[in-house]
């Protein structure tokens, strides 16, 4: 039987059984943000903290307090140096607060609400008092992404307080809404920090029964309802129903990878053994929880509970006699047990056994040795730093770091059961097509052998068909060979229902289907008349923002007859990540325009995006809220751009993309503007101005003052052709555009108010 005939048979069974079509799923793959200057481990950065000596004394006298002390912050990495004043500084951790070497939290937004530094609100500086090698948590953070899973970014750094060296630390990314946005694409989901005794055992529907999970950030859903539902599904689904039910509420495959990592690095202080140290991040894009490991210093042979973590059974990792349903139910399921075994095998025979892994340890050790040797708070003897890499030290250090890796690999392979792997499918997503747009479906897929074959099976208006999905870089799938498969369908020209699933076959004729019931989507006209109406992707000298920087900009237009709230919608220059930048809290009236600086300088104000536009060509999209599944409202594709020239739709909202004679941010693109000669002869005096400005003779009848954020401050509807004084009282100091409608044109003059 050919793949196509097998697909048709499976698809027919689905619809003949009358399975309900599930709400649309968008299972966004992790973004794996770059290390950037903050977490780059190519060099050892220095962090300086400056605070009042009395505050420092108070911090050490009561390290259990969560009160922040005002301090200054300086970050130096090679030639890069940056400082932030008025930050919050305190001790962090649980039992570690009583250690001689403290852990610290740096908070950029405690005293300056909403402030970020390099896109971050907080830093966690961990002294690693449990780990004489000062490297184990860093190794875990590096290993997790190699298994295709999101992890906290981390690097070593030297910490100084008031000029005095306080030692070698690991700078670990804080898990908050910024983490959720940069790793999973949205910061609008609930985030739970779960600590001892987080067993995830069902204790009824009362959220108070699960207070081991602290709600740290709220999204669009009420707190704890999603957590209670997840625990209910996990515990109360039958064995037969568990896979389909559980995969709707948590990213099961990514958890299995992390469970394998926990077992292989000996992380006994995590969920499986010690019911501790995990975050559950609700991803509103996929409507599933993401499981995130944190605090991985008690790993690679560190032991405080008298167990041999190098030899413990990989399938019996939980504490004997205790329930760990997330681990135990999955390991008991034949499909998931085989997949877990495959991930253990991959870690044991490839990632951790690779000579490059050992070389990486040596490289990091050499880099941090001088900082460790001079650390005044290092809680061990100097020789123990070196010996801890190769041999046990006694006490809580049962294994040397490299010794543990070899013992763990040897025992894991001896315990490993024979397994067969069916195709792994995850992160299914589509582009929420509207009428006339090509539907695109992508999915992550892998198998333990070559020959994997994927088919998109879809139904439109009662007709079933299929299309092979490719990982060739030509099917809207990303890069060739990246294990992301894609398929592009012909656009629908009539409104209708579209339903689909992905079927996979490997060389051994094992199969997989995702999701359990078909995804359905109604293809109609765009729901909202919001348009990317104009943009300038190479603003070299045309118009500067409020700080005098010439930045790219874009304009949004409401082409409908009703006001539209923008504060729950997004702009993005990459359709894979539609929630890239949430628009500010504002409402756009019918026929109105809003424009934003696309400069990747979000800290400059609410109208500065966190992305730039590519002058060589790209896309700009407006996307709906998470509750509307981030569906595209309008996406504009554009080619190479010319410096200081804008492109826009003619007519506004409905026309083709054209090069405009003159940029018109905040105005209709239909207007042609004054000639350059007319603008140069226009008298605007004084400039800078204060309470009023004189506007000389001109052909314009209507003038307006707008801020560099696009906000309309004042409109003058009856200006004499002979000119006159314009009242500026009440408008704050700053840089503005004085713009006039001049017959069929519009032109603007920069105006400074002091």
Of 173, 330, 371, the C-alpha closest to 243 is 330
In contact, 42 and 493? CB cutoff 8 Å: no
SS3 readout for 66-105:
CCCEEEEEEEEECCEEEEEEEEEEEEECCHHHHCCCCEEE
Cβ-Cβ contacts under 8 Å for 259 (sequence gap 6 or more): 272, 327, 330, 331, 340
The pLDDT score that the predictor gives to residue 19 is 29
In contact, 662 and 688? CB cutoff 8 Å: no
DSSP annotation of 120: B
The pLDDT score that the predictor gives to residue 517 is 92
Helix 252-265 vs helix 334-346: angle between axes, to the nearest 10 degrees?
A: 50
The pLDDT score that the predictor gives to residue 220 is 64
DSSP reduced 3-state for 270:
coil
In contact, 643 and 538? CB cutoff 8 Å: yes
The pLDDT score that the predictor gives to residue 187 is 81
Of 173, 150, 169, 144, the C-alpha closest to 158 is 169
Strands 745-753 and 734-742: antiparallel
Of 726, 698, 730, the C-alpha closest to 713 is 730
The pLDDT score that the predictor gives to residue 30 is 65
The pLDDT score that the predictor gives to residue 25 is 34
Rounded Cα–Cα distance for residues 414 and 407 (Å) = 11
The pLDDT score that the predictor gives to residue 734 is 76
Tell me how crowded residue 622 is: count the other CB atoms within 10 A of its CB. Answer: 24
pLDDT in tens, 111-167: 998 888 998 999 999 999 999 999 999 999 999 999 999 999 999 999 999 999 999
Left if phi > 0, otherwise alpha if psi is -120 to 50, otherwise beta: which for 485?
Answer: beta
DSSP, residue by residue, 544-586: B-TTS-B--EEEEEE-SSS-EE-TT-EEES-TTSTTSEEPPS-
Rounded Cα–Cα distance for residues 15 and 19 (Å) = 6
C-alpha torsion angle, residues 522, 526, 527, 530 (rounded to 10):
160
The pLDDT score that the predictor gives to residue 737 is 78
Cα–chain-centroid distance for residue 400? 35
DSSP, residue by residue, 690-727: SSEEEE-S-S-SEEEEEETTS-EEEEES---TT-EEEE
The pLDDT score that the predictor gives to residue 8 is 40
DSSP reduced 3-state for 288:
strand
In contact, 157 and 329? CB cutoff 8 Å: no
The pLDDT score that the predictor gives to residue 528 is 87
| Ranges of the chain whose pLDDT falls below 70 | 1-30, 219-220, 576, 671-682, 708-710, 718, 742-748
């Amino acid at each position: 039987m050919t793949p196509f005939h097998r697909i048709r048979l499976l698809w027919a069974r689905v619809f003949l059984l009358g399975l309900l079509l599930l709400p649309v799923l968008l299972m966004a793959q992790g973004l794996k943000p770059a290390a950037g200057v903050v977490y780059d481990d190519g060099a050892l950065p220095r962090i300086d903290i400056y605070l009042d000596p009395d505050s420092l004394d108070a911090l050490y006298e009561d390290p259990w307090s969560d009160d922040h002390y005002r301090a200054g912050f300086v970050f130096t990495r090679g030639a890069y140096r940056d400082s932030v004043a008025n930050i919050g500084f305190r001790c962090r951790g649980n039992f570690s607060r009583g250690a001689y070497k403290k852990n610290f939290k740096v908070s950029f937004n405690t005293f300056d609400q909403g402030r970020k530094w390099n896109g971050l609100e907080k830093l966690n500086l961990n002294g690693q008092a449990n780990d004489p090698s000062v490297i184990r948590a860093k190794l875990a953070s590096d290993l997790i992404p190699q298994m295709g899973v999101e992890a906290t970014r981390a690097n070593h750094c030297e910490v100084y307080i008031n000029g005095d060296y306080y030692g070698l630390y690991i700078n670990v990314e804080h898990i908050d809404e910024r983490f959720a946005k940069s790793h999973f694409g949205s910061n609008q989901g609930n985030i739970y920090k779960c600590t001892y005794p987080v067993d995830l055992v069902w204790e009824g529907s009362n959220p108070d029964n699960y207070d081991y999970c602290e709600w740290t950030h709220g999204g669009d859903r009420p707190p704890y309802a999603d957590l209670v539902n997840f625990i209910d599904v996990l515990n109360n689904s039958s064995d037969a129903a568990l896979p389909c039910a559980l995969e709707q509420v948590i990213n099961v495959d990514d958890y299995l990878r992390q469970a394998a990592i926990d077992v292989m690095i000996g992380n006994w202080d995590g969920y499986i053994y010690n019911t501790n140290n995990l975050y559950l991040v609700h991803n509103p894009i996929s409507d599933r929880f993401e499981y995130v490991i944190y605090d991985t210093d008690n790993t690679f042979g560190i032991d405080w509970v008298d167990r041999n973590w190098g030899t413990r059974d990989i399938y019996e990792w939980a504490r004997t006699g205790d329930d760990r349903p997330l681990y135990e139910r999955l390991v008991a399921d034949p499909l998931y047990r085989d997949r877990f075994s495959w991930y253990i095998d991959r870690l044991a025979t490839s990632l951790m056994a690779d000579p490059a892994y050992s070389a990486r340890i040596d490289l990091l050790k050499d880099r941090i040795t001088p900082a460790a040797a001079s650390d005044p708070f290092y809680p061990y003897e100097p020789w123990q730093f070196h010996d801890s890499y190769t041999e046990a030290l006694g006490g809580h250090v049962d294994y040397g770091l490299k010794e543990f890796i070899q013992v763990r690999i040897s025992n894991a392979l001896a315990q490993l059961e024979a397994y067969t792997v069916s195709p792994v499918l995850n992160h299914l997503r589509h582009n929420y097509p509207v009428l006339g747009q090509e539907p695109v479906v992508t999915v992550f897929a892998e198998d333990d052998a070559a020959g994997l074959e994927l088919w998109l099976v879809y139904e439109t208006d009662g007709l079933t068909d299929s299309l092979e999905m490719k990982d060739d870089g030509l099917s809207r799938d990303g890069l060739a060979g990246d294990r992301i498969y894609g398929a592009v369908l012909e656009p629908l020209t009539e409104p209708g229902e579209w339903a689909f699933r992905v079927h996979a076959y490997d060389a051994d004729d094992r199969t997989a289907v995702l999701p359990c019931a078909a995804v359905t989507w109604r293809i109609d006209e765009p729901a909202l008349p919001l348009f990317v109406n104009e943009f300038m992707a190479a603003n070299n000298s045309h118009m500067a923002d409020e700080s005098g920087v010439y930045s790219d900009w874009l304009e949004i237009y409401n082409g409908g007859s009703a006001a539209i709230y923008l504060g729950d919608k997004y702009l993005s220059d990459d359709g894979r990540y539609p929630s890239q930048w949430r628009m500010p809290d504002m409402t756009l009236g019918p026929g109105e325009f809003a424009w934003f600086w696309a400069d990747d300088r979000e800290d400059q104000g609410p109208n500065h995006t966190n992305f730039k536009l590519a002058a060589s060509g790209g896309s700009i999209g407006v996307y709906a809220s998470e509750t509307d599944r981030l569906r595209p409202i309008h996406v504009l594709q554009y080619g190479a751009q010319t410096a200081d020239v804008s492109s826009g739709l003619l007519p506004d909202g409905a026309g083709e993309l054209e090069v405009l004679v003159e940029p018109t941010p905040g105005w209709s693109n239909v207007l042609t503007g004054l000639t350059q000669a007319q603008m140069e002869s226009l008298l605007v005096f004084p400039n800078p101005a204060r309470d009023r400005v004189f506007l000389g003779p001109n052909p314009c009848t209507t003038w307006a003052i707008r801020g560099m954020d696009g906000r309309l401050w004042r409109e003058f509807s009856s200006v004499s052709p002979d000119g006159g004084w314009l009242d500026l009282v009440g408008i704050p100091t700053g840089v503005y555009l004085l713009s006039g409608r001049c017959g069929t044109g519009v032109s603007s003059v920069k105006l400074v108010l002091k």
